[in-house]
């Protein structure tokens, strides 16, 4: 007979920024007593939340031109929670830097688009302003230097350009969770690093998690493992209507050419951000340009063992094959994927990539760029097998006392809002004796 003390209330599988944000929310705003965080790596946030694996951006929706007003409203509220956490708990700015940021419009069509967008978004973002060539030159001189005087440009600009080291943010979430559990004798947190979950099975009222050959029991589970979340979901019979298109992002470095973030207008139809540039979070002497979006059949960048796992997740069903065929039949998407694949090639890749960067820095030369070796993660872009289209946001799969989060961009920016929602769901799974303190959460994080 299993003792009650041996059963966890919640097990979190995956210690990236979303998993650690959930740990923070459970430890601070619920009465959940026994929690485990299981992470296969030796430390938290060593996959897509690692500083070298993502675009180090806190997305609010103000300069992300692929966001509708409705989506920007939601993302802004969620990202503001992270901003508030940072301002409260990281006064020394160990995990972030604050730069200005702008989205650059080049040519009559993009200028008209940005002006119309500004009118729609200015109430939501009161600090957003329209600036012209002279103001752009004063803020970002390299954006104007070498540009034809006949080329029209404007930008939507804001001072709220947060560049985040999401690994350090994850470490902060964990440290504060442990500190809180010490204060609360009824709360116990087990951190299980270097522990790989090989199976999750439902048995009666509990789940059995097999990790490093040992078995754990839990009343509820939150799987926050990025692309692997769908693999776990399918192993339990959930998420059969989804597959993944894994986009691997790569970057190039240049000398200090930008003082803040400079985005370009996003291409229509594409869920991937346009190439942009910004200073490195811990080294403003380097400007990082990217990301590219190379499609790879992997669940995790630089780990080739995940190729087999990718095909298990994507499946080789007729629906999956037809969905990928339908997506790639769109010439805009197909051409984008081909070009982005070439960006990683030696010599020719840099020559192609520098042509894109010149829209931001007209005078840049190919010799100014250095491929950021080892940088870049995997963005698990969701494919809906029912309508055979790319989903333009994150996916959450709910099961019986279990949830799965698949978090493409802006998953890191919305990690605390996702944690709030998931903490409520987990408390609901656990029953009427458990609660979530919404008032305190709102007071602390907005």
What digits encode the pLDDT tens for the residues 253-302?
999 999 999 999 988 777 677 899 999 999 999 999 999 988 899 999 98
Chain segment 406-428, per-residue pLDDT in tens:
977 788 999 999 999 999 999 99
Gap between the Cα atoms of 383 and 386, Å rounded = 9
pLDDT at residue 271 in the model: 66
Chain segment 11-23, per-residue pLDDT in tens:
999 999 999 999 9
User: Domain for residue 13, yes or no?
Assistant: yes
Mean pLDDT of 158-173: 97
In sequence order, what are the beta bridge partners of 390? 383
User: What DSSP string describes 291-315?
Assistant: ---EE-S-SSTT-TTHHHHHHHHH-
3-class SS at 43? coil
Mean pLDDT of 216-237: 96
Least confident residue range of 77-81, 93-97, 265-269: 265-269
User: Domain for residue 10, yes or no?
Assistant: yes
- Percentage of the chain beyond pLDDT 90 is 83
Least confident residue range of 53-62, 226-235, 389-398: 389-398
pLDDT classification of 2: cutoffs 50, 70, 90: very low
User: Domain for residue 414, yes or no?
Assistant: yes
Mean pLDDT of 389-406: 89
Residues 140, 279: contact at Cβ < 8 Å? no
DSSP code of 368?
A: G
Domain residues for the domain of 407 are 1-56+165-239+394-445
pLDDT at residue 1 in the model: 35
pLDDT classification of 379: cutoffs 50, 70, 90: confident
Range from 112-121, 182-191, 394-403 that averages highest in pLDDT: 112-121
Gap between the Cα atoms of 185 and 33, Å rounded = 9
Domain count, the chain: 1
Chain segment 315-334, per-residue pLDDT in tens:
678 888 999 999 989 998 88
User: Domain for residue 296, yes or no?
Assistant: no
User: Domain for residue 285, yes or no?
Assistant: no
pLDDT at residue 345 in the model: 92
User: Domain for residue 274, yes or no?
Assistant: no
User: Domain for residue 6, yes or no?
Assistant: yes
C-alpha dihedral sign at 308, 312, 313, 315: positive
Q: In this structure, what is the dihedral angle of CA atoms 353, 359, 365, 370, given to the nearest 10 degrees?
A: -40
CB atoms within 10 A of CB 419: 29
- Percentage of the chain beyond pLDDT 70 is 98
pLDDT at residue 4 in the model: 53
Higher per-residue pLDDT: 28 or 184: 28
Paired tokens of 39: 């992470």
Q: Could you tell me which of 47, 45, 169 has the C-alpha nearest to residue 96?
A: 169
Res. 367: pLDDT tops 90: yes
pLDDT at residue 443 in the model: 97
User: Domain for residue 427, yes or no?
Assistant: yes
pLDDT at residue 31 in the model: 97
Higher per-residue pLDDT: 268 or 196: 196
**Which CATH number goes with the domain that contains 11?**
3.50.50.60
Residues 13, 220: contact at Cβ < 8 Å? no
């Amino acid at each position: 007979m299993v003792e009650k003390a041996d059963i966890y209330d919640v097990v979190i599988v995956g210690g990236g920024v979303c998993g650690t944000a959930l740990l923070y929310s459970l430890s601070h705003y619920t009465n959940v007593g026994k929690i485990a965080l299981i992470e296969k790596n030796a430390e938290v946030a060593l996959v897509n939340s690692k500083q070298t694996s993502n675009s180090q951006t806190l997305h609010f929706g103000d300069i992300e031109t692929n966001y509708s007003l409705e989506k920007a409203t939601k993302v802004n509220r969620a990202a503001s929670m992270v901003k508030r956490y940072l301002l409260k708990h990281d006064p020394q700015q160990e995990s972030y830097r604050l730069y200005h940021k702008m989205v650059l419009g080049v040519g009559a069509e993009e200028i008209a688009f940005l002006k119309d967008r500004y009118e729609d978004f200015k109430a939501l973002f009161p600090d957003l302003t329209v600036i012209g060539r002279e103001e752009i030159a004063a803020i970002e001189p390299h954006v104007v230097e070498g540009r034809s005087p006949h080329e029209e440009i404007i930008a939507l600009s804001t001072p709220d350009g947060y560049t985040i080291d999401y690994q350090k943010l994850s470490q902060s979430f964990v440290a504060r969770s442990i500190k809180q559990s010490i204060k609360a004798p009824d709360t116990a947190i087990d951190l299980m690093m270097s522990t790989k979950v090989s199976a999750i099975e439902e048995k009666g009222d509990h789940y059995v998690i097999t990790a490093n050959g040992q078995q754990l029991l839990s009343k509820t589970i939150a799987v926050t493992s990025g692309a692997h979340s769908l693999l776990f979901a399918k192993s339990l019979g959930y998420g059969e209507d989804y597959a993944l298109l894994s986009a691997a992002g790569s970057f190039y470095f240049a000398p200090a050419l930008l003082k803040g973030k400079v985005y370009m207008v996003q291409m229509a139809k594409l869920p991937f951000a346009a190439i942009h540039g910004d200073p490195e979070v811990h080294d403003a002497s380097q400007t990082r340009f990217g990301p590219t979006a190379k499609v790879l059949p992997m669940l995790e960048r630089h780990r080739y063992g995940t190729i087999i796992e990718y095909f298990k997740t994507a499946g080789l069903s007729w629906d999956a094959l037809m969905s990928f065929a339908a997506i790639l039949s769109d010439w805009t998407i197909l051409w984008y994927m081909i070009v982005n694949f070439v960006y990683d090639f030696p010599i020719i890749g840099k020559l192609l990539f520098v042509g894109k960067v010149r829209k931001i820095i007209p005078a840049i030369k190919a010799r100014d760029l250095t491929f950021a070796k080892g940088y870049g993660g995997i963005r698990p872009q969701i494919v809906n097998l029912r309508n055979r289209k790319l989903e333009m946001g994150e996916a959450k799969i709910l099961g019986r006392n279990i949830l799965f989060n698949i978090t493409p961009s802006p998953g890191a920016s919305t990690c605390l809002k996702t944690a709030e929602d998931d903490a409520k769901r987990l408390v609901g799974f656990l029953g009427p004796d458990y609660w979530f303190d919404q008032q305190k959460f709102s007071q602390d994080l907005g």
